[in-house]
Structure 1
């Protein structure tokens, strides 16, 4: 007779919940600035929008585990993904048409303001061309995030808050089902779409000499970015022979976003790696596996980006990134 314990199925990892579907059949108010104090940050962490975004990041993270760039890029792309990449390619061409001024400032070429004015003028048309007519009510809900995805046109800087805006733009497109929340599409968002976005903003940073926005300096992962390290570390999970210490031995193959991010640091900074990238050095020398690196990156992203008032106070909230909490939902439902 078979024992009861032997008949139990093997433990499986918990299933990641489905992403919420936001219907556009009813009007939705556009997002607005909500965070002014640390108390507002605590409120933000309780909202539906915060939970949606954290879930979306985790879903994309899981979709690329163990997969290199070439494998993902070789797979067929949906029309939605292809159109988004084409939009980013168009945006990138503007840099050639708006060359930097001839000044020798260390940071912040004023031509970036001209580039920003073009983006502000073109965003409505970009989104009209991107979305099918049935999703056009989402244009005012998505516009603020696309506008703030490429840097600040007044301060002439770029940081993880601008990267966050672009990620929320992509999440919003997933909530309204322009993108389908399926692993095969989500991994394309990581490597094909977000990878193209990195190509665009790296070009902007280089040509217009954008200043790091709110940089942690030597104690941060990077002067400008975070998500490439997070999702790139997921790509390296479970890969035979992959060790976090490998990033200390350049040149690195461009097989994942993590290597691409670290390679860019090697290209931009001089001196010993441990001096200009102490956090990455510590990860490479003290963390044994990419599984642990990836788990730590998820926690760090939440703590250092999503929960930091200096970052999220510039983020429009509401609209697709719902500001309501479970409590307000229950209250509104009980009043119906």
Structure 2
């Protein structure tokens, strides 16, 4: 992997350059292959690599501190979305998975997304709203199927990428680190609460053979954080309690909160990594390859992503 300083700069896009709004474009496996050859896909993959490198040897802040105004306003919006859960309690009727109140939460998001995005972007970037709104709205789960999975998580990462392409966020190492350690962590905590309160099903789960029922990027970024920390071996994740200033450890702790029984049985992939991969550099590079292969290359995962617009479908 290349150090962050050796990665290319993310390009800048103006709304004047755009000719189409994002929409669902992936219907077949061939469409997935074609998407991987587009400029938008290359932009997104470069963005993820830059985020990954930005957090090497950096911890999640233990207390809320100052952050950039752009990150602060997005975090305040995620806080507001979290507060809606208190306003919209789960229905008491028997529902094993997918409490119908989640659709009410989703309806409020759909109704207020323009207002939220205008508050985020301000008058200077108001024209960007139609290009990011569809991506933002599906970042929190499917309100029809009442599930959440790696495709929704990917959509939020794409939302952050689009905001960086238009330079709402700057592609600087400090800003990119902040996007992971502050913004993405806040998003992750919100999605955990949505899953718990509304009993969302995992979308496209591989069962015990998958990395995680709901998410992936937390493990990628968390393994990057640990790449230069030899004093914390990969096998250390098997010994609880785990430090909560690392995304990988936060995700493992989360698994122990929602699953019961032997870890090697319900999380065999993570157990295999802990017992079979020698260092965090190999874990990180392996997870990046796995994310591209098991998430971004799976039609059933990416078929709902709105593509085009800022994520150009022009062949690269």
Q: 1:23-42 residue pairs with structure 2 within 5 A?
A: 23-42=14-33
How far apart, in 2, do the equivalents of 1:103 and 1:73 lie?
38
**Unaligned segments of structure 1, at least 5 residues:** 1-10, 327-336
> How many equivalent residue pairs?
315
Whether the aligned pair in 1 keeps the contact of 2:4 and 2:50 (CA below 8 Å) is: no
- 1:132 offset after TM fit, Å? 2.3
How far apart, in 2, do the equivalents of 1:324 and 1:257 lie?
34
Whether the aligned pair in 2 keeps the contact of 1:217 and 1:223 (CA below 8 Å) is: yes
How far apart, in 2, do the equivalents of 1:14 and 1:84 lie?
26
Whether the aligned pair in 1 keeps the contact of 2:209 and 2:269 (CA below 8 Å) is: yes
Between Structure 1 and Structure 2, whose CA radius of gyration is higher? 1
Q: Which residue of 2 aligns with 1:108?
A: 98
Greater Cα offset, 18-27 or 39-48: 18-27
Q: Which residue of 2 aligns with 1:21?
A: 12
3-state secondary structure, aligned to 2:264: helix
- 1:71 offset after TM fit, Å? 7.6
Distance 1:64 1:12, change over 3 A: closer
- Which of 134, 140, 161 is 2:151 aligned to? 161
Q: Which residue of 2 aligns with 1:91?
A: 81
3-state secondary structure, aligned to 2:6: coil
Q: 1:1-336 residue pairs with structure 2 within 5 A?
A: 15-70=6-61, 74=65, 76-326=66-316
Distance 1:13 1:178, change over 3 A: closer
- 1:276 offset after TM fit, Å? 0.2
How far apart, in 1, do the equivalents of 2:275 and 2:207 lie?
20
- 1:104 offset after TM fit, Å? 2.9
Deviations 1:192-232, CA, capped at 9 Å, x for gaps: 00000011110000000000001011111110000000000
3-state secondary structure, aligned to 1:255: coil
**Unaligned segments of structure 2, at least 5 residues:** none
Distance 1:20 1:73, change over 3 A: farther
- 1:70 offset after TM fit, Å? 2.3
How far apart, in 2, do the equivalents of 1:24 and 1:32 lie?
16
Q: What is the TM-score normalised by the length of structure 1? A: 0.91
Q: What is the TM-score normalised by the length of structure 2? A: 0.97
